[in-house]
Structure 1
């Protein structure tokens, strides 16, 4: 008997841990020993609701349980990690951070010394594992809860003066906005997780902290999969992590209710060979990526994409047509210190911007640019799916609307 292929081994393991997956294959007449990856069923939200997100808790020993943010449905769902899953995630993040830190040191004539790190982020997997990752990197580490007032974040940075800050983009926005001079903290490297961070935004933020754009590492992951990709400034792509195979599929192939995407856009579908207590075989992320491609890096074929433009879903109404990535990119072409909230209410799109450098005249130019540079928004206005778009200024001391953990989201 010939040895099992990689996908056969993974199907066998997933079927042992998730017996319903075997039934799913059988109902579709698929033989695990002969079918190709592209023939396997897509793991959609409907399948997960029916089989994975049940009230029955797993009983294996030493499990970690994390919960989704529930930002679209309001319901937080349990995601399980085995000790092996946790170790694979921690090792993947550690290796990614170590490689990036080493690469930025070798490109500097006077490399920055990185000894202290601060984790300042939300809840969940990334936050819970940050301290262990820093320990493996040999860094003196501390953390602060995202739920504390921004004044306490500022005080923590001033007292600890970390060279490396691990945080979310919206928290970094708040830190920069409430600091007299963000450069005073002595931060030399920034790692981001959890929200969009367009290149214009990254470049503006790097300037405010007195570092170079490549001193910011933007990472992409999810509780379901773990570490997925990180941004490479030298390739202008998010590079998919080892152990993960990605596919980019048309939206209508995922669900016939979805409208076709732009020509260079597709829905990201992932198969993780290092994840077991989640059925990560052709898992549909519902994240829309642009310019998906394979490239050679150091003699190895790697997969990548230029950005995550938006997220689609059957419960988002017109929200699936609106790209926060594009809106923020346009705004940061005009102002370098903008924090913004985007809401869709009664078919009216509102962009609320907090910025010390924003003039009243700019509001009109930003509105015009969004309507003309973001194709879907202009088309929705033309087709009367959107009644209007408004761009307004937030007061310097205004508390911008926050979602559960994440602030960079479309507010309905």
Structure 2
């Protein structure tokens, strides 16, 4: 990375982590000299002492958020003390203020499911001077639409998968009434954002994407002026090859790397060269308006030591290819052994020319899939167009289906496993 890795702030971060986490100091030895190249990447295996720490020793006034499990099937507990929470909220306020600076807005609706973003959303919007309410995650999709119609928010803060669920059951003439949408969570490819904007009656510029992680907090936001994601101040982002992170069998296309993050403000997580296992495309440091910043094109997928080749399929690229030609669809990708099937459920009346264009786009514009097919890892891709969601318990339009549906299903050894 073209950035000085021997800044005093980085040495201070290294000393802080060694002080707060005895297991980290033991792992890195007693050598007090600081050299960035010698700072280890915090892979999943190296982080196990943190994830498996005794929760009874954690102060009662710390907040705990949980994410997917460790290799021992124990859910990971991620802690935030008061200082971490204050920093998280401040970062979000600065980011939202930047995103909303050209809008005249007074009401926000948070439809975020569960987790850290949901728990803090109302406070953040209220401190920015907006009225804000939160929608309970467990409500059926139609109830989310009713809340939007009743509350009439200017800003909708939600996740792509939740917004997909609402679009799936919304009548064509539903009046969304929003000026803009702020997204966080799963990838939101450009073609998908354009189709969402058309449905909501706003422009693609009004569908704004942000990125974060439960371990680090806020990471980046999409800057329309440069059409790239900008990493937040106080976050050091690096790109490394999979082999450096203990994944020698993972190969990525040129320009793609694993994202590694260091947070200069996060304390109750050892946020020093943390391997996210997200695959970042075209990460670089550049000068803009006299300021040095780190930017990237997109986060396109996730890999890891426990993932098989099917789970490395980029939903980002698949959806971006599909939504160039289809106005609205529910996309599901099924991997069974070395067979890949893409199910596109849409109410759009697609002629054969459009269907052929979608198939050609999927085969020609996603290098990873083409390489897998040529290398024999995958058979030729099946692309199926469905008129209704055959996996759903309730008919389309009733609003009784789950608000969030998974997009990637992997079948292995007779057992189903999925990642949304």
Q: What is the TM-score when the length of structure 1 is the normalising length?
A: 0.90
Summarize the alignment of residues 274-293 of structure 1 with structure 2, pairs less than 5 Å apart: 274-293=265-284
- Measured on the aligned residues, the alpha-carbon RMSD in Å equals 2.4
C-alpha contact (below 8 Å) 2:286/2:292 kept by paired residues: yes
Residues 6-85 of structure 1 mapped to structure 2, 5 A cutoff: 6-26=9-29, 30-31=31-32, 34-49=33-48, 51-57=49-55, 58-70=57-69, 75-85=74-84
Moved more, 277-286 or 340-349: 340-349
* Number of aligned residues: 396
Q: Deviations over 1:267-301 (max 9, x none)?
A: 11011011011001000001111111112233210
SS at match of 2:175: helix
Q: CA deviation at 1:392?
A: 2.0
Once the two structures are superposed, what CA deviation does each residue of 1:160-196 show, in whole Å capped at 9, x if it has no partner? Answer: 1111000011111122232224661211110001101
1:157-172 alignment runs, 5 A limit = 157-172=148-163
Change (3 A) 1:380 1:404: farther
Taking structure 2 as the reference length, the TM-score comes to 0.88
What does residue 110 of structure 1 align with?
none
Cα deviations by residue, 1:357-403 (Å, 9 ceiling, x for unpaired):
25262444323321222122122122221123222234446556999
Note if contact 1:183-1:210 (Cα within 8 Å) is conserved in structure 2. Answer: no
Looking at structure 1, the residues matched to 386 and 125 of structure 2 have their Cα atoms a distance apart, in angstroms, of 37
Instruction: Measure how far apart 1:70 and its partner are.
Output: 4.7
Partner of 1:367: 359
The aligned residue for residue 396 of structure 2 is none
CA distance in 2, matches of 1:97, 1:54: 34
Query: How do 1:128-147 and structure 2 match up within 5 A?
Result: 128-147=119-138
Report the CA distance between 1:409 and its aligned residue.
4.2
| Equivalent pair of 2:106/2:131 in contact (CA under 8 Å) | yes
The more displaced of 302-311 and 181-190 is 181-190
Unaligned runs of 5+ in 2: 1-6, 394-400, 412-420
Deviation at 1:210, TM superposition (A): 1.3
Which stretch has the larger CA shift, 175-184 or 278-287? 175-184
Report if the CA contact (8 A) 1:71-1:404 is conserved. Answer: no
Q: Distance in 1 between matches of 2:328 and 2:211?
A: 23
CA contact (8 A) 2:310 2:410 kept: no
Whether 1:259 aligns to 2:262 is no
Equivalents in 2 of 1:85, 1:358: separation in Å? 50
Q: Which runs of 5+ in 1 are unaligned?
A: 106-112
Greater shift, 123-132 or 311-320, is seen at 311-320
Structure 1 Cα separation of the partners of residues 135 and 194 of structure 2: 25
Deviations 1:188-241 (A, max 9, x none): 110001101001111121121111222122011110100001111111111101
